[in-house]
A and B are shown apart, each in its own frame.
Chain A
Amino acid sequence: MLNFSKINILFIYFLLIFISIFSFLNFQNENDQLIKKKINLGLDLQGGSYLLLEINSDSLVKEKIQSKVIPIKKLLKDNQINYKNFKINEKNLSLSIDNIEKFDLLFNSRKDNLVNPYIDNYRSYELEYKKIDNFRIEISFSKFGLLTINNSALKQSIEIVRRRIDDVGTKEPTILQRGEKRILVELPGLKDPERIKSLLGKTAQLNFRLVSDNKEFGTDELTSENGVKLNVSKRIIMSGENLIDAQPSIQNQNNEPTVSFTLDRLGAQKFGRATTDNVGKRLAIVLDGEIVSAPNINEPITSGNGMISGNFTFQEATDLALLLRSGALPTPLIVVEERTVGPDLGEDSIKSGVKSLIVGFILVILFMLYKYKIFGLIANTALIANLLMLIGVLTILEATLTLPGIAGIILTVGMAVDANVLIFERIREELKTEKSIIHAFDSGYKRAKITVLDANITTLIAAIILFAFGSGPVKGFAITLGIGIITTLFTAYFLARHLTSLVVLNTKNKEIKI
């Protein structure tokens, strides 16, 4: 165990130096770095905001099933199937029909089926029906239909969230899908996420509808900006999809902040026609089911430009313009988890983390020197190499360092010496029975090997499980702990062993104390 071939030695020191070099990249100025690799600081260290958003697809399912009502009724009428008791429920439609066989044929036909399209990806129809009795059926989305709705809503939401956050202009945001319903947003350096939260909390579904004088069929009663209830036609003249731009502006007449918008060609046509036909009536601008304002149509607007006023502050006008530019979210987003750390707390955490690392490190080094003298020096050299390699590997992986991650490094310092302690203690025992010092060292390393492996694998198992199940900062702990074990094994079994062999082989036959 004490003989090293030249290739072995070359390999050990090459790997050691190669990996350790990376650790120094973290202390360099970013601009004159050749290799742009660095350990990222977690949000708990650099400050920032972590948000976990969840889409609510229930409301979407309700909306979508309602949109199926007219096509289904048309299908039945066109094919002379009589129906009665058509009911619209939260998640399904129920009705009685006189010819289920015929309906089944139409409903599950693959050709030109606009009512119930076939989803090729999942080999399944969007809708399914089940018989309640001989005449009554219940139509709902199939498992894969629901999945499709959910997935497209999630994808669309991620896109809109990205646009809104980019528009606000925070640095290096992370926006990722998490599971089936969630979006993870990380905003480094952001001190107050309230504005972003309120921007993400609004779906921003905008539409223009005429105000109706009486409460006739086909109107909704909506509340306007000054609390007055107005009857608004259900018919949508134009919606936010037709907007190509929106900007905040100040109206010259009374210095009021407003949002001016530009419509696409189709939108301009629709808007032009509606305003021409309805001069003198009031046009309600409805955002997320509330009337923002309901101005009078004084003259036809055919230019495709318009303006929304509604007693905004300039900030509100800016935010509304941003929301309209970025498009509407398919469903409201709920913040299900939020963690925000201010930059000063992050700095404090780094300071105290580094301080405890240095103190812990010095204490361990002094203790080892006291316990093992010259071999303590070897163990300490291995420990320093270990630390450099650990930081080097973290840099190569561009891992995220968190406060628990720093704790993991300190803990590694405390536990890393264990491998060398196990070996040295074993050698001590071997020296008692073995006459040849070299043999004693040799068999000490040999015999301790399995124990060292066994002992470290158990901690490695714990680290891997923690990595798989932990979230956020705790994951950072699992990373440093896990990598620390591997670098520990390397430094104890290769570096320290080689250093030991140098000491032992150069003091032949003389007394060696350990």
Chain B
Amino acid sequence: MTNYNFSSKFKHANIFSIVLFFISIIFIIFKGLNYGIDFKGGTLIELRSNNIEASSIRDVLKTMDLGDVNVKKFGKEGDFIIKVEQKGDNNELIPKIKNNLSNSLNSDVNFRRVENVGPKVSAELLQSGIIAISLSLAAMLFYIWVRFEWQFSIGSIIALFHDVIITLGIFSLLSLEINLSIIAAVLTIVGYSMNDTVVIYDRIRENLGKFHKLDISDTANLSINETLARTIITSVTTLLALFSIFILGGEILRGFSFAMILGVIIGTYSSIFVASPILKYFKVSYKTIEKEEEKIVP
């Protein structure tokens, strides 16, 4: 077993977390999130062609008066993503763009992917995404509240907010796209981070019952050290899987796996340095869990 003194670093770590958390919120509010067409509506076209430049695609689209158009390289040489931010339902827009591109670019164009999301649907998707994340946070809160004491419940929820907000903050900072798969990633991060926190909390509760003389800082410290090997090994295997998706899984999964990688790292950190100190601030002791037990078994 390792014997690092984690509790002595709680204070610095918490200041670091709070700063990061608020910087993230500032970024999310002022810079905003880069919503993809799933949530903003619009059209996305992925195409593959030989010997063409993004600028020539841009030139063709410029003549069409489409409003805000974004052309980007996408993975391999010759692969491009076009995003058109068009409002309203326009059934004829896509064939028009495709025809214009096929005719104007002196090269075979292979349209590999076309997505079009209307404004009504995108608003609904965003709404259900937000509901899903809120609901998962609420469900976790409830689960922990049933399984542990309320102090643990609040500690784990703060750690979850910490993870989700900072992950989104980094997405805002790097202007990475938020789409449906990022929502899936955030939910999985919530599950993973909770998983990590629960393992440490389980041990803290066990040790509180075992060693009445230790205060919460020492108990937390002991528990974190006892579970540290597991925390690291699981993070490593999960990250091995995620990096292999990130590197080999193709362009479409890149955003998803990147969000997950961030989430796993931040989630592991928060289980140790956010969720555990909160118990200390709530002055949790062996009496806390004994009281609860009395309540349950009268």
Chain B, Cβ-Cβ closest to A50: B115
**Do B1 and A415 have beta carbons less than 8 Å apart?**
no
- Interface pick from B10-18, B64-72, B231-239, B283-291: B231-239
**Do A429 and B238 have beta carbons less than 8 Å apart?**
no
Query: By DSSP majority rule, is chain B's interface helix, strand, loop, or mixed?
Result: helix
**Do B132 and A352 have beta carbons less than 8 Å apart?**
no
Chain A, Cβ-Cβ closest to B135: A465
Chain B residues closer than 8 Å to A413, beta-carbon distance: 241
With known contacts A414-B238, A466-B132, A458–B184 Cβ distance under 8 A = no
Q: How far is the CB of B112 from chain A (nearest CB, A)?
A: 4
A477 at the interface (CB under 8 A from B): yes
**Do B191 and A349 have beta carbons less than 8 Å apart?**
no
Q: How far is the CB of A475 from chain B (nearest CB, A)?
A: 9
CA distance A478 to B183 in the complex (A): 12
A194 at the interface (CB under 8 A from B): yes
- Interface pick from B55-63, B170-178, B212-220, B222-230: B222-230
**Do A403 and B128 have beta carbons less than 8 Å apart?**
no
**Do B89 and A410 have beta carbons less than 8 Å apart?**
no
* B-contacting residues, A399-427, CB 8 Å: 403-404, 406-407, 410-411, 413-415, 417-418, 421-422, 425
**Which of B110, B195, B247 is the one whose CB lies under 8 Å from A458?**
B195
B272 at the interface (CB under 8 A from A): no
**Do A478 and B184 have beta carbons less than 8 Å apart?**
yes
**Which of B139, B202, B238 is the one whose CB lies under 8 Å from A411?**
B238
**Do A334 and B181 have beta carbons less than 8 Å apart?**
no
Q: How far is the CB of B159 from chain A (nearest CB, A)?
A: 12
Chain B, Cβ-Cβ closest to A419: B234
With known contacts A352-B250, A414-B241, A474-B184, A421–B113 Cβ distance under 8 A = no
- Interface pick from A139-147, A239-247, A357-365: A357-365
**Do A465 and B115 have beta carbons less than 8 Å apart?**
no
Chain A residues closer than 8 Å to B229, beta-carbon distance: 425, 428
**Do B118 and A461 have beta carbons less than 8 Å apart?**
no
Chain B, Cβ-Cβ closest to A451: B202
**Do A356 and B249 have beta carbons less than 8 Å apart?**
yes
Chain B residues closer than 8 Å to A403, beta-carbon distance: 250, 252-253
Chain B residues closer than 8 Å to A477, beta-carbon distance: 181, 184
With known contacts A403-B252, A461-B139, A415–B234 Cβ distance under 8 A = yes
**Do B199 and A335 have beta carbons less than 8 Å apart?**
no
**Do A415 and B238 have beta carbons less than 8 Å apart?**
yes
B262 at the interface (CB under 8 A from A): no
With known contacts A338-B116, A410-B241, A455–B132 Cβ distance under 8 A = no
* B-contacting residues, A327-368, CB 8 Å: 334-342, 344-345, 348-349, 352-353, 355-357, 359-360, 363-364, 367-368
B136 at the interface (CB under 8 A from A): yes
B198 at the interface (CB under 8 A from A): yes
CA distance A255 to B134 in the complex (A): 65
A197 at the interface (CB under 8 A from B): yes
CA distance A462 to B143 in the complex (A): 12
CA distance A54 to B91 in the complex (A): 12
**Do A421 and B140 have beta carbons less than 8 Å apart?**
no
Report B238-260 CB contacts with A as 1/0, cut-off 8 Å: 11111111011110110011001
CA distance A418 to B112 in the complex (A): 38
Q: How far is the CB of B258 from chain A (nearest CB, A)?
A: 12
With known contacts A407-B257, A459-B192, A341–B113 Cβ distance under 8 A = yes
With known contacts A340-B113, A356-B244, A414-B241, A425–B95 Cβ distance under 8 A = no
**Do A411 and B180 have beta carbons less than 8 Å apart?**
no
* A-contacting residues, B79-114, CB 8 Å: 89, 91, 94-95, 98, 110-114
Chain B, Cβ-Cβ closest to A478: B184
A450 at the interface (CB under 8 A from B): yes
CA distance A490 to B38 in the complex (A): 37
**Do A451 and B244 have beta carbons less than 8 Å apart?**
no
A-B contact count (CB 8 A): 218
**Which of A338, A368, A472 is the one whose CB lies under 8 Å from B114?**
A338
A456 at the interface (CB under 8 A from B): yes
Q: How large is the interface on A (under 10, 10 to 19, 20 to 34, 35 or more residues)?
A: 35 or more
Chain A residues closer than 8 Å to B183, beta-carbon distance: 470, 474
**Do A404 and B139 have beta carbons less than 8 Å apart?**
no
Q: How large is the interface on B (under 10, 10 to 19, 20 to 34, 35 or more residues)?
A: 35 or more
Q: How far is the CB of B234 from chain A (nearest CB, A)?
A: 4
**Do A471 and B136 have beta carbons less than 8 Å apart?**
no
A463 at the interface (CB under 8 A from B): yes
**Do B192 and A337 have beta carbons less than 8 Å apart?**
no
**Do A456 and B240 have beta carbons less than 8 Å apart?**
no
**Do A421 and B241 have beta carbons less than 8 Å apart?**
no
A102 at the interface (CB under 8 A from B): no
Chain B residues closer than 8 Å to A471, beta-carbon distance: 125, 128, 180
A201 at the interface (CB under 8 A from B): yes
A289 at the interface (CB under 8 A from B): no
Chain A residues closer than 8 Å to B195, beta-carbon distance: 415, 418, 455-456, 458-459
Chain A residues closer than 8 Å to B89, beta-carbon distance: 334-336
**Which of A407, A458, A463 is the one whose CB lies under 8 Å from B245?**
A407
**Do B240 and A363 have beta carbons less than 8 Å apart?**
yes
**Do A335 and B91 have beta carbons less than 8 Å apart?**
yes
With known contacts A367-B240, A415-B192, A421-B230, A404–B110 Cβ distance under 8 A = no
A88 at the interface (CB under 8 A from B): no
**Which of A337, A411, A421, A468 is the one whose CB lies under 8 Å from B116?**
A337
**Do A422 and B199 have beta carbons less than 8 Å apart?**
yes
B149 at the interface (CB under 8 A from A): no
**Which of B121, B226, B248 is the one whose CB lies under 8 Å from A429?**
B226
A304 at the interface (CB under 8 A from B): no
Chain B residues closer than 8 Å to A54, beta-carbon distance: 120
Q: How far is the CB of A329 from chain B (nearest CB, A)?
A: 14
B266 at the interface (CB under 8 A from A): no
**Do A353 and B250 have beta carbons less than 8 Å apart?**
yes
With known contacts A422-B230, A473-B181, A465–B118 Cβ distance under 8 A = no
B147 at the interface (CB under 8 A from A): yes
**Do B238 and A454 have beta carbons less than 8 Å apart?**
no
B53 at the interface (CB under 8 A from A): no
Report B124-166 CB contacts with A as 1/0, cut-off 8 Å: 0100110110011001100100010000000000000000000
With known contacts A411-B260, A451-B202, A454-B147, A342–B184 Cβ distance under 8 A = no
B188 at the interface (CB under 8 A from A): yes
CA distance A461 to B143 in the complex (A): 9
**Which of A336, A406, A425, A458 is the one whose CB lies under 8 Å from B140?**
A458
**Do A459 and B191 have beta carbons less than 8 Å apart?**
yes
**Do B187 and A462 have beta carbons less than 8 Å apart?**
yes
Q: How far is the CB of B120 from chain A (nearest CB, A)?
A: 6
**Do B139 and A465 have beta carbons less than 8 Å apart?**
yes
Chain A residues closer than 8 Å to B46, beta-carbon distance: 345
Chain B, Cβ-Cβ closest to A51: B116
**Do B187 and A465 have beta carbons less than 8 Å apart?**
yes
Query: With contacts A454-B202, A472-B180 known, what are 15 further pairs, Cβ within 8 A?
Result: A341-B112, A342-B112, A352-B253, A360-B240, A360-B241, A360-B243, A364-B237, A414-B237, A414-B241, A415-B238, A418-B230, A425-B230, A458-B140, A473-B180, A474-B181
Query: Can you spell out 8 A-B residue pairs with CB atoms less than 8 angstroms apart?
Result: A336-B117, A336-B118, A367-B233, A403-B252, A407-B253, A455-B199, A462-B140, A466-B184
- A-B complex: 9 closest residue pairs judged by Cβ atoms: A414-B241, A462-B191, A360-B244, A469-B132, A459-B191, A352-B250, A458-B194, A356-B248, A414-B238
